[in-house]
């Protein structure tokens, strides 16, 4: 049952701007009104007065992988204030299970690319088999698309639309350069065909690339956004020009880059053992958060990734927050990695806390065309995060979670914190 309630006497960040002493009024899962507390409506609904707290839109993690329909992905994300996740590739059975799971309480909303546009023996097959080379996994991979021309691209997109109803289409463009490998990867022409045909069907197109040249390739193909930055060399003027020409955005996954080069280990450890995460994540997941993927230790530097985001931000490119969290991916944890990413945006890239919070709320919604979330405004979903303190001054305060609502429903993990 969707609750009605009023939160008042709080700082309100609506996804764009701030009201220092305001309110948010929710009715039946939707935001009814937002404004200064002097305009708060009379109501018989449950009222929370929370001076010293900040209300903001629920975070949108624009990059996860719930491999094998991981049953903890959506609940754990929500416990950390992430009310929507955007998955970047999964098989049909898993997508259907995850969509069904969102009907249960205490889960984040789920957006998906469905099955990514893959080729014969291309990415992400090498990384998956590095974790699990079982017959069952190989049998699943054998069902993936093996795209090579316009005809089978069209067949793939029509199948995907019919069976998965994806929210966007994901390209894979990984040459292996960052990892010191040579992998099968598509031609720019094939990526352009996929992009054209996806657009003709009304889809946004996003792409994986982790080296500078791979990034330039998919920008040339005309994608809407990149789901990583790169760490193999410093950014160039050619990169800036390519982003400007296409108008593409970037989701840099900086925490993931730190795990790839193993230079992010100390901060991963800090977040895994922050006292505020107790009860929200188990010990095994903490251990995974502290480990590193380390694929790019010899051929990448995380500073190149940071610098790429600095120059792209200064060039006016939209920078979106997304974690690349996945159950087996070392250095990540659903939900928690978003707070890690926000920290990096502020402390390594030089964003203001307000810019960082926009990158995880209203800007994601704008770039992905999610018109019902990402802001606190009348008529939108009541996806709300309540934290103690002021994350607009100190981004670390995003982990002071006191309440999370998805479509007006309070996450039970935080129910006892509201009346303190």
Task: Assign 73 to helix, strand or coil.
Answer: helix
Task: Assign 269 to helix, strand or coil.
Answer: helix
Determine which helix (DSSP H) or strand (DSSP E) holds 111, and give its type and residue range: strand 109-112
pLDDT at 137 exceeding the cut of 90? no
Determine which helix (DSSP H) or strand (DSSP E) holds 385, and give its type and residue range: strand 384-388
16-25, 33-42, 126-135, 145-154: least confidently modelled range: 126-135
Residue burial 332-369, b: 16+ Cβ < 10 Å; e: rest? bbbbbbbbbbbbbbbebbebebbebbbbbbbbbbbbbe
Q: What angle do CA 223, 116, 201 make, to 5 degrees?
A: 60
Average pLDDT score over residue span 202-228: 98
Percent of the chain with pLDDT over 70: 99
CA–CA gap between residue 361 and residue 370 (Å, rounded): 10
Do residues 255 and 344 lie in contact, with contact meaning Cβ atoms separated by under 8 Å? Answer: yes
Average pLDDT score over residue span 170-178: 96
What is the pLDDT, as a whole number, of residue 166? 98
Question: Who wins on pLDDT, 262 or 127?
Answer: 262
Q: Is the link from the previous residue into 272 a cis peptide, with omega within 30 of 0? A: no
pLDDT at 1 exceeding the cut of 60? no
Determine which helix (DSSP H) or strand (DSSP E) holds 225, and give its type and residue range: strand 225-226
Query: Using one digit for the tens of pLDDT, what is the confidence trace for 42-62?
Result: 999 999 999 999 999 999 999
CA–CA gap between residue 327 and residue 70 (Å, rounded): 7
Average pLDDT value for the chain: 96
What is the pLDDT, as a whole number, of residue 2? 61
Query: Using one digit for the tens of pLDDT, what is the confidence trace for 321-368?
Result: 999 999 989 999 999 999 999 999 999 999 999 999 999 999 999 999
What is the pLDDT, as a whole number, of residue 192? 98
Do residues 250 and 218 lie in contact, with contact meaning Cβ atoms separated by under 8 Å? Answer: no
């Amino acid at each position: 049952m969707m609750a009605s309630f009023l939160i008042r006497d709080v700082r309100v960040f609506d996804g764009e701007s701030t009201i220092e002493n305001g309110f948010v009024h929710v009715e039946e899962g939707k935001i009814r009104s937002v404004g200064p507390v002097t305009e708060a409506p009379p109501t018989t609904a449950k009222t929370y007065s929370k001076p010293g707290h900040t209300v903001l839109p629920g975070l949108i993690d624009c990059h996860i992988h719930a491999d094998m329909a991981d049953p903890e992905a959506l609940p754990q994300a929500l416990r950390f204030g992430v009310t929507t996740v955007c998955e970047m590739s999964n098989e049909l059975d898993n997508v259907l299970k995850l969509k069904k799971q969102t009907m249960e309480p205490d889960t984040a909303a789920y957006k998906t690319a469905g099955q990514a546009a893959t080729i014969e023996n291309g990415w992400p097959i090498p990384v998956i088999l590095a974790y699990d080379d079982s017959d069952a996994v190989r049998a699943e991979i054998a069902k993936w698309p093996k795209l090579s021309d316009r005809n089978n691209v069209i067949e793939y997109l029509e199948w995907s639309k019919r069976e998965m109803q994806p929210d966007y289409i994901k390209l894979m463009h990984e040459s292996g350069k960052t990892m010191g490998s040579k992998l099968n990867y598509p031609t720019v022409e094939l990526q352009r065909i996929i992009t054209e045909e996806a657009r003709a069907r009304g889809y946004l197109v996003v792409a994986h690339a982790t080296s500078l040249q791979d990034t330039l390739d998919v920008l040339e193909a005309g994608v809407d956004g990149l789901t990583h930055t790169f760490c193999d060399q410093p950014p160039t003027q050619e990169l800036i020009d390519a982003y400007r020409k296409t108008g593409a955005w970037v989701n840099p996954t900086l925490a993931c880059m730190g795990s790839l080069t193993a230079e992010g280990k100390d901060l991963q450890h800090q977040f895994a053992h922050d006292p505020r995460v107790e009860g929200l994540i188990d010990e095994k997941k903490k251990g995974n958060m502290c480990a590193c993927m380390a694929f790019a230790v010899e051929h990448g530097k995380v500073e190149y990734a940071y610098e790429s985001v600095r120059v792209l931000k200064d060039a006016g490119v939209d920078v979106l927050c997304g974690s690349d969290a996945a159950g087996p991916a070392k250095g990540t944890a659903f939900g928690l990695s978003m707070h890690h990413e926000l920290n990096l945006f502020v402390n390594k890239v030089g964003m203001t806390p307000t810019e960082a919070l926009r990158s995880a709320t209203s800007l994601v919604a704008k770039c992905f065309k999610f018109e019902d979330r990402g802001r606190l405004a009348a008529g939108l979903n009541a996806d709300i995060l309540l934290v103690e303190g002021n994350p607009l001054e100190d981004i670390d305060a995003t982990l002071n979670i006191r309440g999370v609502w998805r479509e007006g429903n309070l996450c039970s993990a935080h129910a006892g914190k509201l009346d303190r």
